[in-house]
Structure 1
């Protein structure tokens, strides 16, 4: 079987054969999706179905990564049923978790490194999330946790929860993080307010807020870089 020429394989099998002999990096996005969905329809190959899926999303893989299984199914792509939508969603989630795992226990020295660290967690989320990076004395990540979802205000972000986690993980420095799904990374009045509130509360325990990074699709904003702390 391994010596069979690609052209002798069924159309749906050719991306898998290509991956087997050349490696995943030689496949296009549509070919990789074709491997995940395994087969197409009576009239279309798996690659053609994958191309239809990407075309519905402006050929942007980022757009696909934002979708839930239900939202993929709502695109009504012929050849993409629940099982295939589940496979696609699971594969994309594994990619995000791999990136997060690589960053675990990383030493963070500047806002660019923080942005790279939180990108996998926050960049493509459709709702606003507020998270905290807990750093030990060596400035390495001791813990990362999303502490609220859906918006930022003094009620939703509980300083007591944030600081209790800091004590549990022996953190001496904290980096606040959240995303702006709109893409605009400029801090709002609510962002400034919760930052000041958490900073003052943390100082009572000799814990420092060293930065607050807002992540957008195209970039980030650092409070420390703009002297807002």
Structure 2
């Protein structure tokens, strides 16, 4: 794998290629790095659509379920993105205690919870909706708001808020 394929261009948001040959793998790696940068500490959330696109880039290609949180401060600026649990091809055990502990460790005021569906279909299961309710209740006890639960599939994302499931 090559490193330093890109360097910053003269205009903000532009990059210059150091290598004349770029593989598909290189492009996907760069997209993940850019999404991680866009979800890094101190950045403001651009829009719900942008958040979904970044989460999709980070989580869509796992062959197993991954549950993660996007921690936010009181002004909804990003504190950090953390993958908390990994599971199998169709489930992941999520422990509310550990989610609350992570929120408190980072002094989060709010969070967006997310996980992927390796099957590709982002539609939530009843277990997903139930988990969201449990997490909202547990986090509310320590004054942390759950702003959304975004499920990532191969072809897109499903927002529980946007679809009236939260």
Question: Is the TM value for this pair above 0.5?
Answer: yes
Q: Is the 8 A contact 1:133 1:141 kept in 2?
A: yes
Following superposition, the deviation at residue 197 of structure 1 comes to 0.8
Matching of residues 44-63 of structure 1 within 5 Å: 61=24
| Structure 1 unaligned regions, length at least 5 | 1-22, 34-60, 66-87
Equivalent residue for 1:32, pick from 14, 17, 22: 22
Is residue 40 of structure 2 the alignment partner of residue 104 of structure 1?
A: yes
Aligned partner (choices 143, 154, 157) of residue 217 of structure 1 = 154
**Structure (1 or 2) with the greater strand fraction:** 2
**What is the distance in 2 between the residues matched to 1:150 and 1:139?**
29
2:131 equivalent to 1:172: no
Give TM-score scaled by structure 2 length. Answer: 0.77
Instruction: Name the Cα RMSD after superposition.
Output: 2.5
Cα distance change of structure 1 residues 111 and 95 upon mapping to structure 2, 3 Å threshold: closer
CA contact (8 A) 1:108 1:139 kept: yes
Q: For the residues of structure 1 that align with 2:39 and 2:81, how far apart are their CA atoms?
A: 11
> In 2, are the aligned partners of 1:134 and 1:175 still within 8 Å (CA)?
yes
Could you tell me how far 1:94 is from its partner in structure 2? 5.4
Whole-angstrom distance in 2 between the partners of 1:25 and 1:124: 27
Q: Bigger radius of gyration, 1 or 2?
A: 1
Contact 2:38 2:54 in 1 (8 A): no
Q: Higher relative CO (CA 8 A, sep ≥ 6), structure 1 or 2?
A: 2
Closer, same or farther in 2 for the Cα pair 1:94/1:206, shift >3 Å?
same
Mark the CA change 1:103 to 1:209 in structure 2 (over 3 Å): closer, same or farther.
closer
Which runs of 5 or more structure 2 residues have no equivalent in the other structure? 1-15
Q: How does 1:120-199 map to 2 (within 5 A)?
A: 120-151=57-88, 152=91, 156-199=93-136
* Superimposed CA distance per residue, residues 41-77 of structure 1 (whole angstroms, 9 cap, x where no aligned partner): xxxxxxxxxxxxxxxxxxxx4xxx5xxxxxxxxxxxx
**Equivalent residue pairs, number:** 148
